Structure 1
Amino acid sequence: MSQSASQNVSSSAYLPEHAQGALNAYNKLDVDAKLALLYLVYKKMGDSVTPAAPAATEPELAPLLMDDFYRLSHDQQLDVMREIVNGADTDYSHAYGALKENNQLMVWYAWAQAMGQSVIGMPGNYQAEQSVTAALGQIEGLDFEDQISLLREIASGMGYSNIQAIPTQAETGKTASL
């Protein structure tokens, strides 16, 4: 049985409690508002929100996302972004879901850097909804480490993966054999 990436997760064991509100605010947004928020995060925070560990990223692992994606029409690019945010069962969403968090952040960073050029940009007349500006304000209020942790959490909740979590010993009642 296939599973999509964990969508609409309201809390994370990896985020400090004060960052949970920002994650909850993000998870309440619709797909286009989530994309707008990601765009605004990268626009406002610029180069401070780079892939968290550039040496730990491997762009060659994502040729579909880092090469083929740029050849799509802007409408197709928007569709792909929506599919990834929604965890749809598509080739692009699978390619994204197979990446580690740092590489997922690198994909969004690369796309943000190319927005308005080789990647679809925001409409010129776009006005952010109050829920988007409120979520952005919560993210801006976090310290840098918490911002990166939050963005990793958001990035890892997107895409499609049919990889199942390994049941814990508590869930199976069996001990590991050597």
Structure 2
Amino acid sequence: MTASSKKTVSQAQSNETQKAVQAFNALDTDAKLAWLYFVYEKMGDSITPAAPTAADPELAPLLLGDYLQLSDDQQLEIMRDIVNCKDTEYSRAYGALKENNQLLVWYAWAVAMGDTVVDMPSNYNSTGASNELLSQVEGLDFEGQISVLRAIAGEMGYSDVKPIETQAQTGKTPSL
């Protein structure tokens, strides 16, 4: 069994935001990728200031540099690997980032789509579930939108770093 960066406690605090994260998780891989693209296309002006100003692009040279030199097929496979938490070089690089930097990666990729990043297929039709989720997230306030996006971004990628067990799990109090 492999480890992934899937978190057991979502950053999405309200019922609405938790439902949005669950709805995203129910989508298939390509629908998730399309949804992320549509989020940045439709809501980019409102959500992008939060990620880039709170992130450091120099922390992701593999994802924001080397990645751009790859073929469309290679880029798409890397995106799919990250969404599916596969143990690959790029998925590990993504999984090692904090959520703001992960959002910056998706933002940079969305901005470069059709230029240096593989574009959305022209014949792609989004699903009803994807459209409904997009509307649901658009209806959230800014904090709710960012909460959903951070939770989604943070559940992707691969990491074999395990969360520290809580006192409730170990039965021991932490010591200095």
Give the TM-score band, short-chain normalised: over 0.9
Match of 1:5 in 2: 5
User: What SS does structure 1 have at the residue aligned with 2:45?
Assistant: helix
- 1:42–1:112 contact (8 Å) kept in structure 2: yes
Q: CA RMSD in A?
A: 1.6
Of the three residues 45, 54, 59, the one matched with 1:61 is: 59
Rounded Cα–Cα distance in structure 1 between residues aligned with 2:152 and 2:46: 17
Rounded Cα–Cα distance in structure 1 between residues aligned with 2:54 and 2:140: 23
Q: Deviations over 1:79-129 (max 9, x none)?
A: 000000000000000000000110000000000000011101111121111
Instruction: Give me the TM-score of the superposition, normalised by structure 2.
Output: 0.94
> 1:170: Cα distance to partner?
1.4
Rounded Cα–Cα distance in structure 2 between residues aligned with 1:51 and 1:82: 25
- 2:12–2:18 contact (8 Å) kept in structure 1: no
Match of 1:149 in 2: 147
- 2:94–2:158 contact (8 Å) kept in structure 1: yes
User: What SS does structure 1 have at the residue aligned with 2:50?
Assistant: coil
Of the three residues 88, 91, 95, the one matched with 1:97 is: 95
Unaligned runs of 5+ in 2: none
Instruction: Give me the TM-score of the superposition, normalised by structure 1.
Output: 0.93
Alignment pair present for 1:170 and 2:168? yes
* Count of aligned pairs between the two proteins: 176
> 1:161: Cα distance to partner?
0.4
Unaligned runs of 5+ in 1: none
> 1:53: Cα distance to partner?
4.6
Match of 1:115 in 2: 113
- 1:97–1:161 contact (8 Å) kept in structure 2: yes
